[in-house]
Structure 1
Amino acid sequence: MRHRLPVQKIYFNHRTGKAEKCTFCYPRTEVGLPTVCSETCVGRLRYLGVLLYDADRVAAAAATEEETGLYEAQLGVLLDPEDPGVRREAEAAGIPHDWVRAARRSPVHALVSRYKVALPLHPEYRTMPMVWYIPPLSPVVEALTETGFDGEDAGNLFGAIDTLRIPLEYLAEQFAAGDTGPVRASLEKLAAMRSHMRAVNLGEPPDPAVAASVGMDLAGLEAMYRLLAVAKYEDRYVIPTAAVGDARRLEESAVPDSCSLDQAGGPGMGGEGAFGQDSGRTELPLVSLETFHALRARQTADEQPHVADVADSRGEK
């Protein structure tokens, strides 16, 4: 969410002499696994989830006359998956139940629509944004600390937003078509969250006025903190799986033409492929979905599995 994903990013493959680009790790995402760049992000800065939107509203949102109104117009296209009416309409439209369930648990929906801290990139392009970004607050905290001020105090943070190392106006040009309002609101919520959690960690009585000043309550600040700071794997990546009947056609036989960024012939020039330890190696059998999900189970387990269990999951003897 907070770093640019490499979708449409062009890579030059020195082995084939051709330019290739990211495909959002299709078909990893088709079987419920996150993109490789999300899963391996050291800072755990990327989130994947479903957004439900009303296709009939897209054209009207794109036709918004004032560019500074495009952010709110795009928010208006998104639907609330907790709304019973939305769920009924989704069922009537034939949207699978697992997609609606995923939308209700979506971290992206929470950051975009519930907390409104994630913003679209260049809404003035009038496209429906599929990747959203949280503007950076961290530099101001360090800058305040270096000058001798309390870098976690809400009052200091709110006041310093106008003197960010990355000017507020520049961020507004990136994320809100020049409107500083949504960017300031996002940064103030992040500042309020940091201030509140500092008080909690120090055992100080929390100040409800800090949350109220950004239109939230203390429970909301703590829920946002859990999502941004300590969310587990299954909370950061909520991806509905493809229909069981289509699963076989999504095995790795489709990968060489669609996702070659980290396997033989791709920019990674070898190593593990997009499907884990056995993929990306032409001398080995194709990797099945069962192996795929066994790898995910190992990555999210609290304890390392026994070596025999690993061999079984990979079809080894």
Structure 2
Amino acid sequence: MCYPRIEVGLPTVCSETCVGRLRYLGLVLYDADRVAEAAAVEDEHELLDAQRSVLLDPHDPEVIEAARRDGISDDWIDAAQRSPVWRLIHDYKVALPLHPEYRTMPMVWYIPPLSPVVDVVSNSGADGEDARTLFAAIDKLRIPISYLAELFTAGDIGPVDASLRKLAAMRSYMRGVSIDDERDERIAQAVGMTGREIEEMYRLLAIAKYEERYVIPPAHYEQAHDLEEMACSLDFDGGPGMGGAGGPFGAASGSAVPVAIENFNALADRQTADRPSTPGRVNLLNWDGNGSTTGLFPPAERAEERSYDEEQT
């Protein structure tokens, strides 16, 4: 997750540079005491609802009070209330976790793709924007839905089908709004939503602004001491963590460096600096293209020599 960018409120590099604007980042509040219980649900098809139930409503007064009591700051609570991830998982229920049957309680969620369904309908000569046609196509395309269900819902087709139907309804409903200035509530009702909810989901998925897609509160100074003790979650005896001295992936490149308070603010300045923050070194994850460092590019004189040699050849 591009640590320490997240620690200073910056999105990951893959999110910020995604051409399709397909990635969203936001925090969620959850009941840590219920994680193990949810992961231990026997029926694999109940794992999705079990994981959703662990997530707490950031608008609930009791949740807000408990969060403050446990030391969660108001800006984090506010970020949880504005989190696009929470809305996609809980409000609209179109986002699904990857392989919940592994019981790792993943916190990277995915929205099943509707585009293949639309392409099939359009290529057949039918209207790829008509809700009834799209719904029928989803019902018939059992193989891809089964494949998606194996990825996201331990083989349960129902949640994947529901997610695709909501996306199809949004596509058809918004076409009516854009072309005919008509809001057909029947389309929204067919997927258990209202027209207003459809339009809100469309705004989030299609035209949301930068600050709406990435709601990342920065870490606090008062948390710095605890963060200094934090290590890679895979850094255990014999494990592949980056801080370990060995393991199946070979020796680490250096000893573990504790998190410094400097990380929380200096990184934001380094993002736009015109020279490397550490002489002779550049972190390409943070480099904005300004300045250079020894070894990053060939020396200028050598480049000129090569150009001359190429001309002579």
TM-score normalized by the length of structure 2: 0.74
User: 1:163: Cα distance to partner?
Assistant: 3.5
Partner letter of residue 170 of structure 1? Y
Structure 1 residues 239 and 166: CA distance shift in structure 2, 3 A: farther
SS at match of 1:170: helix
Moved over 6 A (4+): none
In the alignment, which residue of structure 2 is the partner of 1:73? Answer: 50
Mean CA deviation greater in 223-232 or 156-165: 156-165
User: 1:164: Cα distance to partner?
Assistant: 3.6
Q: State the alpha-carbon separation in 2 of the partners of residues 165 and 233 from structure 1.
A: 36
1:96 is the counterpart of 2:73: yes
Q: State the alpha-carbon separation in 2 of the partners of residues 242 and 282 from structure 1.
A: 33
Structure of higher RCO (CA pairs closer than 8 Å, 6+ residues apart): 1
Q: State the alpha-carbon separation in 2 of the partners of residues 243 and 213 from structure 1.
A: 45
SS at match of 2:135: helix
Superposed, 1:202-241 pairs within 5 Å as: 202-241=179-218
Q: For the Cα contact (< 8 Å) 1:25–1:36, is it kept in 2? A: yes
User: 1:147: Cα distance to partner?
Assistant: 1.1
User: 1:162: Cα distance to partner?
Assistant: 2.8
Q: State the alpha-carbon separation in 2 of the partners of residues 89 and 280 from structure 1.
A: 48
Q: State the alpha-carbon separation in 2 of the partners of residues 130 and 100 from structure 1.
A: 18
Structure 1 residues 252 and 85: CA distance shift in structure 2, 3 A: closer
In the alignment, which residue of structure 2 is the partner of 1:177? Answer: 154
Q: State the alpha-carbon separation in 2 of the partners of residues 102 and 120 from structure 1.
A: 21
Q: State the alpha-carbon separation in 2 of the partners of residues 124 and 229 from structure 1.
A: 31
Deviations 1:47-78 (CA, angstroms, capped at 9, x unpaired): 00001110111111111110111001100000
Q: State the alpha-carbon separation in 2 of the partners of residues 26 and 282 from structure 1.
A: 25
Mean CA deviation greater in 221-230 or 121-130: 121-130
User: 1:205: Cα distance to partner?
Assistant: 2.1
Across the aligned residues of Structure 1 and Structure 2, the Cα RMSD in angstroms comes to 2.6
Of the three residues 258, 263, 278, the one matched with 1:250 is 263
1:133 is the counterpart of 2:146: no
1:124 is the counterpart of 2:101: yes
TM-score normalized by the length of structure 1: 0.73
In the alignment, which residue of structure 1 is the partner of 2:13? Answer: 36
Q: State the alpha-carbon separation in 2 of the partners of residues 92 and 244 from structure 1.
A: 19
Deviations 1:10-68 (CA, angstroms, capped at 9, x unpaired): xxxxxxxxxxxxxx111111000000010000000000000111011111111111011
In the alignment, which residue of structure 1 is the partner of 2:83? Answer: 106
Q: State the alpha-carbon separation in 2 of the partners of residues 166 and 109 from structure 1.
A: 29
Superposed, 1:257-296 pairs within 5 Å as: 273-274=285-286, 276-278=288-290, 281=293
Q: State the alpha-carbon separation in 2 of the partners of residues 210 and 100 from structure 1.
A: 34
Q: For the Cα contact (< 8 Å) 1:168–1:180, is it kept in 2? A: yes
In the alignment, which residue of structure 1 is the partner of 2:178? Answer: 201
**Percent identity, aligned pairs only?**
61
Q: State the alpha-carbon separation in 2 of the partners of residues 93 and 40 from structure 1.
A: 35
User: 1:209: Cα distance to partner?
Assistant: 1.2
Q: For the Cα contact (< 8 Å) 1:199–1:205, is it kept in 2? A: yes
User: 1:90: Cα distance to partner?
Assistant: 0.1
Q: For the Cα contact (< 8 Å) 2:219–2:264, is it kept in 1? A: no
Structure showing greater Rg: 2
In the alignment, which residue of structure 1 is the partner of 2:231? Answer: none
User: 1:129: Cα distance to partner?
Assistant: 1.5
Equivalenced residue count is 249
Unaligned runs of 5+ in 2: 225-259, 268-275, 296-313
Deviations 1:225-263 (CA, angstroms, capped at 9, x unpaired): 000000010000000111146584216999xxxxxxxx9
Q: State the alpha-carbon separation in 1 of the partners of residues 292 and 192 from structure 2.
A: 49
Structure 1 residues 272 and 63: CA distance shift in structure 2, 3 A: closer
SS at match of 2:177: helix
Partner letter of residue 95 of structure 1? I
Q: State the alpha-carbon separation in 2 of the partners of residues 273 and 61 from structure 1.
A: 36
Q: State the alpha-carbon separation in 2 of the partners of residues 99 and 248 from structure 1.
A: 19
